[in-house]
Amino acid sequence: MRFSGYASVSAIITMQTFTNKAGSVIVDKLILVIQENKQYLSDIDGLTGDGDHGINMNKGFTMCREELDKNPGDLSYSLKVLAKILIMKIGGSMGPLYGKFFKAIGTALEGKEEIGITEMGEALKAAVNSIASISPAKVGDKTLIDTLVPAQAAYERAQVEGKTLSEALEAMKIAAAKGRDSTKDMVAKLGRASRLGERSRGVLDAGATSCCLILHVIADAGKDILY
């Protein structure tokens, strides 16, 4: 924190930002969290699908690591590298869905040196819209939408209420976890698990779970570099 003396604490905290440059650490941590959870995500997916979610995500995120090691850059650049790899190389449904998600965030943040509550809010909104543009999934279908949509809504609510970036990110985290957990009692309506109908009830959705991991990293790593 840079404030000192008698300056109003709240006035300064509401201006919380992190730089696009420092933000590249968010992508570093996203790659790590996917690598660390490769088996966990595949195990969840194996209960309703073919158990390849962790494997495929890990493949894409690891390819991104290799590319960023060669050509590093700021947050928006790194997100767009990740997006391109997911879209073009991964396949299934998760490649294009997460590809679109990261591309939207990367594009929204492009050219912004400082990222504050407004910039992040716009990026999250763009991510939700972008996924909606290629997938008919709605809340309740047992997909990553069940994590993403309430998480973005919680962030936006905090933003409207005049909360700080750090508070909005925290609200997003809580809503994401709740959204992920909500998929447990749902019957899959879309995607591979929908082939199981009632048999899909009782387990978390793998996409909703990975989406929660991703949003938590964005929140935690973002909060770490706020100043």
Partner 1 sequence: MQKFINDPSKVVDEMLEAYIKVHADLVSPTENERVIKYKYAPVEGKVGIVTGGGSGHKPAFIGYVGRNMVDAVACGEIFSSPPAQMFLDAIKVADAGKGVAILYGNYAGDNMNVAMAMEEAEEEGIQVKKVVANDDVPSAPKGEEASRRGVAGEILMWKVGGAKAAMGGSLDNVIEVAQKAVNNTRSMGIGLSPCTIPEVGHPNFTIENGKMEVGIGHHGEPGIEVVDLEPSAKVAERICNVILPDLPFNSGDEVVALISGLGSTPLMEQYIVYNDVEKILTEKGIKIYHSYVGNYFTSLEMAGITCTLMKLDDELKKCIDFECDSVGMRQFQRL
Binding region for partner 1 (CB under 8 A): 46, 49-52, 55, 87-93, 95-97, 99, 134-135, 190-192, 194-197, 199
Least distance (Å) between residue 46 CB and partner 1 = 7
Least distance (Å) between residue 93 CB and partner 1 = 4
**Measuring CA to CA, which residue among 199, 221, 162, 202 is closest to residue 26?**
221
Which CB contacts under 8 angstroms, 24+ apart, belong to 118-127? 118/159, 120/155, 120/165, 120/168, 120/169, 120/222, 121/155, 121/156, 121/159, 121/168, 124/151, 124/152, 124/155, 124/156, 124/172, 125/152, 125/156, 127/100, 127/101, 127/102, 127/152
Least distance (Å) between residue 109 CB and partner 1 = 21
Identify the burial level of 195 via C-beta atoms within 10 angstroms of its C-beta, where 0-12 means exposed, 13-18 middle and 19 or more buried.
Answer: exposed
Nearer Cβ to partner 1, position 43 or 156?
A: 43
Nearer Cβ to partner 1, position 125 or 192?
A: 192
Burial call 69-97: b when 16+ CB within 10 Å, e when fewer: eeeeebbbbbbbbbbbbbbeebeebbbbb
CB 1 within 8 A of CB 17: no
Nearer Cβ to partner 1, position 94 or 221?
A: 94
Least distance (Å) between residue 106 CB and partner 1 = 16
Nearer Cβ to partner 1, position 72 or 197?
A: 197
Least distance (Å) between residue 84 CB and partner 1 = 10
Q: Dmax of the chain from CA atoms?
A: 62
Nearer Cβ to partner 1, position 90 or 120?
A: 90
- Spatial distance between the Cα atoms of 114 and 185, rounded to a whole number of angstroms: 40
Least distance (Å) between residue 145 CB and partner 1 = 12
Nearer Cβ to partner 1, position 103 or 112?
A: 103
